[in-house]
Structure 1
C-alpha cells in the first residue's frame, strides 16, 4: 500500500510503498477513504508534538473508512461498517490498524470527508467550551484563528451553546467563513484586537489556537473571571502568562488537549461526540472542508496548514 511516512524525526515525510498491516489484538483494520489533516501533523513531522511516535511512523491522526478486518478479541464494529477513528497516527495511508474501542459508526448521509474532518476539530471545541470553560448562554466568546480547522468549529459550537461570538481571523474571505458559521462580530487580525474586543464589552471566554501576540491582546481584553483556553500555538510562539494579572482580574487559564482525555477520561470524549453527532444528524452542524486532495498531494495539504491558506479542514483521500 502507499503511505506518507516519517523515517527520521525533523525530516519531511515521504510517500512510500509498505506492506498492508495486520490488526493486532483489540484492533480493526480500516480501508481508509479520508484522513483529516491537523496542525499537530506538522509538529509531529518536526518531532515537536507531545505525542510524537518513535520513527518510522505514518502521519495522519484521524480517519474515516470501512472496516475490512478485525484482530482477536474484537466484538465490533463489524467488517463492512463505515467508521471514523482517532488513531493519533497512521491515517495518511490506504489501510490502517486502530483500536476498535475508538471507532465511531458514521451516521447515514455523513461523507467520509466530513467524518475525517469531524472528531478532533468539533471534539476539541465542544470539550473546551462545555467541559472545561462551562460556558453559559449569553456569555461572550472570543475565537482567535476563527477560520482555521478548530477555530471555525468553535464559532459554530459556541453559537449553538448560546454565546455571543466574536470571531478574529485574517482577511475578508476568512472572516466571511466565520460569519457564515454564526459569528456575531468580526475582527480582522491586523486590527487592534484588544481595543476592538474591549469596545464590544470584553470576553468571558477566549478560545485560542494561535498564541503569540493575539493571545496577549485577548488576555488584556478579558473580563474579570474570564476563562482563557489555550488550544494550540499556530503562530509558533507559546505565550507566557503573567500570574499577577490572573490574580488581579480573577482569570482562569484552562489547558485543553482533546487526545489526552482518551487516556484518563475517555467517557468525556464519548459523551461529547455523542452530543456532536446528534447535532450533525439534526442538521445543526455543517463540517467545512476547504480542500480535498489525493494522497500524492499530502505535502501540499500540509503546506496549506503551515501557510494558513485553508479555511476549516484539509482532507486527504487515499
Structure 2
C-alpha cells in the first residue's frame, strides 16, 4: 500500500514548490555579506591598513626625508624606551587621562541631573552647553592660549588690576601652572558630549520607578543611588570608554596651548609621538605602536572590569 493516500476524485492535486534556482541558492549562501561589505572595506582602509603600515614603519630606518634606508629591527623601540623623558611622559599621560576623565564624568553627572529637571531657561542652557562641542577643539585651545598669554593675555590684566598678582605670570610656560589649565580646557571641551550621553540615559528611566520608590519611603539620596545610577550604567559606560580613548589620544588641547611644554614637561604620549618626528620618523612610528597597544589594553581591561555586557 502506498504511504501517501490517493487524492479523492475532483480534489486539486497538491502543489510542489519549485526547487530554488542556482542564483537563488547563491543569494542565500552569501546572506548579508553584500550589505556589510562596504563597512568591512571602510574598516580595512581606515583602520587595518594604517595599523599595518605603522607597525612596518616602526621597524624601518627612515631618513627625515621619508625615504627608507633599510631595516632597523627593534632599534627604534630601544631608542624610544631609552629617551630620558619617556618615563615622565608615560606618568603624565596616566595623570592626564585619570584627571580629565574623572572630572568630566563627575561634573557631567551633575549637569545631566540638572538638565533633566524642569526650570526656566532649560532649553537655552542646553543649547549653550553645545558651544564648546560645536567649536573646533584646536580653536578653543588657541583661544585659551591667548587669554593666558603673559604679555597680552586678559587674565593677567584682570588679576593685576584686582591686586591678585603683582606682575604678569607665564601660566603656560611653567609646568606647575600649565597642567591645571590644560586639564581645565580638556574637561571644558569634553563636557558637552558626556553630559548629553548621560542626559539621554536619564530620560530613558521611567517616572513610575521613582513613584514606586517614593511610595516605599525611599529618600532622594536612596533613589539616586539604588535606581538612577544602576539604570544609568549603560550610558555611563559608553561615555566613560569614549572619554578614555579620546582623552588618552588627545592632541589639540596640549599642542594648541603650550606644545607639550619645555622638554615635553606637559606632553602626553600622543604629543611626544608628534614631537619625535622631527628627530626620527622610525622612533615616532614606534611610539605610535606603543600608543596603539596601550589604548587597546586599556579598553580591554576596562571592558573586563566593568562587565559591560552584563545586565545591572
TM-score of the alignment, normalized to the shorter chain, above 0.5: no
Which structure is richer in relative contact order (CA contacts within 8 A, separation 6 or more)?
2
TM-score normalised by structure 2 residue count: 0.23
Greater share of strand: 1
